[in-house]
Amino acid sequence: MKTIADIAKLAGVAKSTVSRYLNGGSVSEQMKKRLEAIIEETGYTPNTFAQSLKAKKTNMIGTIVPGLDSYETSQILTGIDNELRKWNSHMLVSNTNQNLARELELIYRLAKQKVAGIILLATEITEAHLQAFQEIAIPVLLVGQQHEEVHSLVHNDEEAGYAIGKYIIEQGHRRLAFLGVSEQNIAIGINRKEGFKRAVREANGCEVHFFETGFTMKEAAEGALAVFEGYFPSALICATDDIAIGAVKAAYKKGMHVPANISVTGFGGYSITEMMNPALTTVKLHFIEAGEKAARHIIKLANGEDIPKLIYSGFEIIARESVDKRFAPG
Amino acid sequence: MKTIADIAKLAGVAKSTVSRYLNGGSVSEQMKKRLEAIIEETGYTPNTFAQSLKAKKTNMIGTIVPGLDSYETSQILTGIDNELRKWNSHMLVSNTNQNLARELELIYRLAKQKVAGIILLATEITEAHLQAFQEIAIPVLLVGQQHEEVHSLVHNDEEAGYAIGKYIIEQGHRRLAFLGVSEQNIAIGINRKEGFKRAVREANGCEVHFFETGFTMKEAAEGALAVFEGYFPSALICATDDIAIGAVKAAYKKGMHVPANISVTGFGGYSITEMMNPALTTVKLHFIEAGEKAARHIIKLANGEDIPKLIYSGFEIIARESVDKRFAPG
DNA sequence: CTGAAAGCGCTTACAG
DNA sequence: CTGAAAGCGCTTACAG
């Protein structure tokens, strides 16, 4: 392994000159050519530890995720990694396994590793988080959740909820059920629901009941069973694709056919939804693009540039087979 | 931020003594107590860059994956991360996006980052790989594929293929089809199929046809359609869960019911298989445990310990609804 | 068991 | 534009 001293010796100059060349400092044209050739020839690359020791900063971006095993997370990470590569930066992934204490610990730990920035796929932002962000003094970007005091990138959940609500109403459905999650989760528990409500308010003669369940397909299957007791919606709007998958499973268990007896919609656009029987109508969130956007923005923050506090990522309705057209009664 | 010099001053000793304490060198009991207290109190933690600069090695383990968006990869990464945490080590994830050239590039790049070891979720090992491993002189562990010259951890694909074959035959099926992938993939394309073949050989009067398709659900759906042309197996054994999902989809498109008209099995144990209609009978591979095992072994290698060249990870048959019992003809 | 000194490979004022 | 020197925070022989 060559060091900067080797290059300097080969070029017959001081190390500082080589360093200046490497970092875009003032070096004569002639010297530039000479150094460029030597570096090219020797395949020299600076030792990142020595750099980091002085500069007290790395070119790594830390990402903290609640779990590695969801479609959403995988896609977002793919996007982040895609983009970071272009910037010659690396992604350091840490998994909290849904453990809030561990999340805080990781924030401090990444700070210690001197990452240039942190992308946090957060579920909830507590006071302790805010304090941590202050202390570490490293740029942080929230993805999927928003907080007024922190840079955030979110899917436009409210708009998306509105869009799917509007779609289902346009198909003629009027007896609706919404199967969501706890309001502790702002993006999914509140915003998606609120958007849906807005669509309902704009329509005429809708009856709608709201239900709550967990995030796993299993919990959702049970949650859906509860929906079907006593109330018979013609359409069930689910707050995530996993919930919709559980709901479809529950419907079949009850002997109901989708969409003949009940229409079901998801939220997310997981690839599996296309392969279900029937294929699921859902709101596709652009996860990969969101990850790429997040990467671009955290790099800007790391470079001291300014970015908007709140950034939106796109979505689209994917109409497939799980929703029937109804002719609205009266 | 405290440095080792601060601690030394507070303790009234030389930096070397503190360093020795930190690294388990010989220090008097009394001194140990004193330093322990001071370090505890100040919350001092060594600067990893300075350590790495000297030691020329980090506590990071690099992982190279072909994509972030498969269930298998997510689970394995979860296992690796779980275990690494216990060793106070970090996981650096790099995604090749199925690009072989990029895979090689990443191996060198991780070496430059001085990772303590590399876990490679490989698809194929070429001469260029072997050469790279030599050059970087960093321990490498293959996961999911094996190569005689490299430490490898694999699912016992042959045994698992045998087990699912045996299971399906025990259920009375004799007209079989196997929907696999290219033999370029040794673990999935060859070993699973060979295990299955062994089960068939041991049984009586089986008719079996072999087919090949791609890894995506979409390709598999097309591949399955090809199976159904002209041959009518009572059971279709698929080399992965994704292939089975595609096959089920294709069967429904053809108006066939699973398992009434055709039994289908998967391979992998993806969580979604439980939620399908019908729930898929499959071979569950213990991905998380495999990841944990991989992490333990790469750490051993990084510490210069010896480990077996080839390590196996477990599996189990999960019997669910997609396979019917048949009474074997004659 | 403990300490002084050199060195890991860079960067960064400061002179010239 | 260029160079000599100090320093980033550690570790590691070498003495004592």
Model confidence band, residue B240 (pLDDT cutoffs 50, 70, 90): very high
Q: What is the CATH number of domain A56-155+288-312?
A: 3.40.50.2300
User: And the tokens for B30?
Assistant: 């009394």
Average pLDDT over residues A39-44: 91
Contacts of B301 (CB under 8 A, 6+ apart): B117, B139, B141, B151, B307
What residues of chain B have any CB closer than 8 angstroms to a CB in chain A? 45, 47-50, 52-53, 67-71, 73-75, 77-78, 81-82, 90-95, 97, 112-114, 217, 221, 245-246, 248-249, 252, 271-272, 274-277
Q: Which helix (H) or strand (E) holds B226?
A: helix B217-227
Q: Which residue has the higher pLDDT, B54 or A311?
A: A311
* Strand A235-238 versus strand A175-180 pairing type: parallel
Average pLDDT over residues A52-73: 87
Total count of residues recorded for chain A: 330
Average pLDDT over residues B140-157: 95
* Strand A315-318 versus strand A282-285 pairing type: antiparallel
The residue type found at A125 is I
pLDDT in tens, A260-309: 999 999 999 999 999 998 999 999 999 999 999 999 999 999 888 899 99
pLDDT in tens, A239-257: 999 999 999 999 999 999 9
Of A69, A114, A246, the CB nearest to B74: A69
Give exposure, A184-213, as e/b (b: 16+ Cβ within 10 Å). Answer: ebbbbbbbbbebbbebbeebeebebeebeb
Model confidence band, residue B32 (pLDDT cutoffs 50, 70, 90): very high
Model confidence band, residue A328 (pLDDT cutoffs 50, 70, 90): low
Which residue of A264, A275, A321 to mutate against B (max B Cβ within 10 Å)?
A275
pLDDT in tens, A65-84: 999 888 899 999 999 999 99
Which residue of A4, A44, A74 to mutate against B (max B Cβ within 10 Å)?
A74
Model confidence band, residue A329 (pLDDT cutoffs 50, 70, 90): low
Contact B45 A114 (CB under 8 A): no
Which residue ranges make up each domain of chain B? Answer: 4-46, 59-155+287-311, 157-286
Side-chain half-sphere CA neighbours of B161 within 13 A: 25
Coil, strand or helix at B33: helix
Residue B222 confidence (pLDDT): 96
Question: If you average pLDDT over each of A51-55, B100-104, B302-306, which comes out highest?
Answer: B100-104
Model confidence band, residue B329 (pLDDT cutoffs 50, 70, 90): low
From the options 1.10.260.40, 3.40.50.300, 3.40.50.720, 1.10.540.10, give the CATH code of B4-46.
Answer: 1.10.260.40
Of B75, B94, B113, the CB nearest to A69: B75
Average pLDDT over residues A40-56: 87
Q: Is the dihedral of CA B242, B248, B251, B255 positive or negative?
A: negative
User: And the tokens for A292?
Assistant: 């790429």
> Using the CB atom, is residue B25 less than 7 Å from strand C?
yes
Model confidence band, residue B48 (pLDDT cutoffs 50, 70, 90): confident
Average pLDDT over residues A173-202: 96
Strand D nucleotides within 7 Å of a protein CB: 1-13
Separation of alpha carbons B191 and B182, rounded Å: 11
Distance from CA of B175 to the nearest CA of A (A): 26
Contact A246 B49 (CB under 8 A): no
Residue B269 confidence (pLDDT): 96
As a whole number, the mean pLDDT across chain B is 93
Residue B236 confidence (pLDDT): 98
Separation of alpha carbons B13 and B7, rounded Å: 9
Please determine, for residue B155, whether its predicted confidence score (pLDDT) is greater than 60: yes
Bridge partners, residue A93, by sequence = A63
Does residue B135 contact residue B110 with C-beta atoms inside 8 Å? no
Model confidence band, residue B1 (pLDDT cutoffs 50, 70, 90): confident
Contacts of B233 (CB under 8 A, 6+ apart): B175, B176, B177, B209, B227, B262
As a whole number, the mean pLDDT across chain A is 93
* Strand B151-155 versus strand B140-143 pairing type: parallel
Q: Which residue do the tokens 């040794």 mark?
A: B186
Question: If you average pLDDT over each of A86-95, A206-215, B88-97, which comes out highest?
Answer: A206-215
Separation of alpha carbons A220 and A206, rounded Å: 24
Residue A89 confidence (pLDDT): 84
Q: Which residue do the tokens 């042959």 mark?
A: B158
How would you list the strands of the sheet with B207-212, edge to edge?
Answer: B207-212, B175-180, B235-238, B263-265
Q: Which residue has the higher pLDDT, B165 or A114?
A: B165
DSSP H helices, A87-212, are 100-112, 127-136, 157-170, 192-202
Contact B49 A47 (CB under 8 A): no
Q: Which residues of A touch B276 (CB under 8 A)?
A: 276
User: And the tokens for A135?
Assistant: 């202390």
Average pLDDT over residues A92-108: 90
How would you write chain A as a 3-class SS string? CCCHHHHHHHHCCCHHHHHHHHCCCCCCHHHHHHHHHHHHHHCCCCCHHHHHHHHCCCCEEEEEECCCCCHHHHHHHHHHHHHHHHCCCEEEEEECCCCHHHHHHHHHHHHHCCCCEEEECCCCCCHHHHHHHHHHCCCEEEECCCECCEEEEEECHHHHHHHHHHHHHHCCCCEEEEEECCCCCHHHHHHHHHHHHHHHHHCCCCEEEEEECCCCHHHHHHHHHHHCCCCCCCEEEECCHHHHHHHHHHHHHCCCCCCCCCEEECCECCHHHHCCCCCCEEEEECHHHHHHHHHHHHHHHHCCCCCCCEEEECEEEECCCCCCCCCCCC
Of A77, A97, A113, the CB nearest to B68: A77
pLDDT in tens, B196-213: 999 999 998 999 999 999
Nearest to B248 by CA among B223, B270, B271, B269: B223
- Class of domain B59-155+287-311 (CATH, top level): alpha beta
Strand C nucleotides within 7 Å of a protein CB: 1-13
The residue type found at A167 is Y
Of A50, A75, A221, the CB nearest to B69: A75
Model confidence band, residue A218 (pLDDT cutoffs 50, 70, 90): very high
CA B1 to C1' D2 (Å) is 35
Nearest to B155 by CA among B277, B303, B65, B288: B288
Average pLDDT over residues B223-231: 93
What CATH architecture is A157-286? 3-Layer(aba) Sandwich (3.40)
Residue A265 confidence (pLDDT): 98
Distance from CA of A153 to the nearest CA of B (A): 21
Residues above pLDDT 70, as percent of chain B: 99
User: And the tokens for B214?
Assistant: 């791609």
Q: How many CB atoms lie within 10 A of CB B282?
A: 29
Contacts of A308 (CB under 8 A, 6+ apart): none
Bridge partners, residue B178, by sequence = B210, B237
Residue A305 confidence (pLDDT): 86
Q: Do domains A4-46 and A56-155+288-312 have the same CATH topology?
A: no
Nearest to B245 by CA among A65, A179, A270: A270
pLDDT in tens, B104-126: 989 988 888 888 999 999 888 99
> Using the CB atom, is residue A15 less than 7 Å from strand C?
yes
